[in-house]
Amino acid sequence: MALDTLAKLTLAPWLIAQGRAVRRRALILPEPPGPRQGQTGSGPSRSLLIVGDSSAAGVGASHQENALSGQIAQRLSKTNHLSWRLEAKTSATSQSTLNHLKILPEQHFDTAILIVGVNDVTGNVTLASWLRTQHALHAVLNQRFGVTSILRTAVPPMEHFPLLPQPLRWTLGQTARRFDRALSRLCCETPGAVHIPFDLPHRPEYAAQDGFHPSEKAYAAWSDLIVKNI
């Protein structure tokens, strides 16, 4: 049995109480304003779909141009004519993201960036169920949107989220690490899928005001990691 699973069983009342307390006191930041699709730049054509949860939606930034999608678009437009679209929502899980993709109008994209995992970890989704949904997400991106390159950013290291108290922080961090190791293996086994480690400094300026989402400085560094892989 994984250590985080054992901790959840042993410390269940304490962890549940901490989770409820975090929800009560958490600062709720909005998704930033700004365009969620567009065309920009010149050069070879490239189309990009960004899908995911509140981090993909840019929570923690003041405007979409300073969030992940805007930062990525700015960088890629220097060498490409980029057509891009953002489909992301606060509190999105892997399953809700899959459901959303299934009802979107079909459209071709060369590359998809898929950012999910945190809400699955906090929602106590099992690893087996989570992996089945990741396979389904890859399939729908391939089949409905013609995506040939899927970039998977790592499930972030939740043990460094300032908002979370101990031992909840450690427990969720261990689960996130377990999910991310499985995601890395999945990408190694999936043609066209790339796992991008969440290799950002764990410093205060990289956390948003809520202690849970990235800051604009973190979005800039994160976009650099993604664009290097594109």
Which pair of structure tokens corresponds to residue 92? 């999105």
Length of the chain equals: 230
What are the phi and psi torsion angles at 60 (to 5°)?
110, -15
Q: pLDDT tens for residues 92-128?
A: 999 999 999 999 999 999 999 999 999 999 999 999 9
pLDDT recorded at residue 7: 64
Q: Distance (Å, rounded) from C-alpha 162 to C-alpha 91? A: 19
To which residue do tokens 């779909």 refer? 49
Longest CA span, the chain: 57
Overall average pLDDT of the 61-82 stretch: 96
Domains with residue ranges and CATH for the chain: 3-229 (3.40.50.1110)
pLDDT recorded at residue 22: 87
Q: Distance (Å, rounded) from C-alpha 180 to C-alpha 108? A: 28
pLDDT at 199 over 90: no
Q: pLDDT tens for residues 44-69?
A: 999 999 999 999 999 999 999 999 99
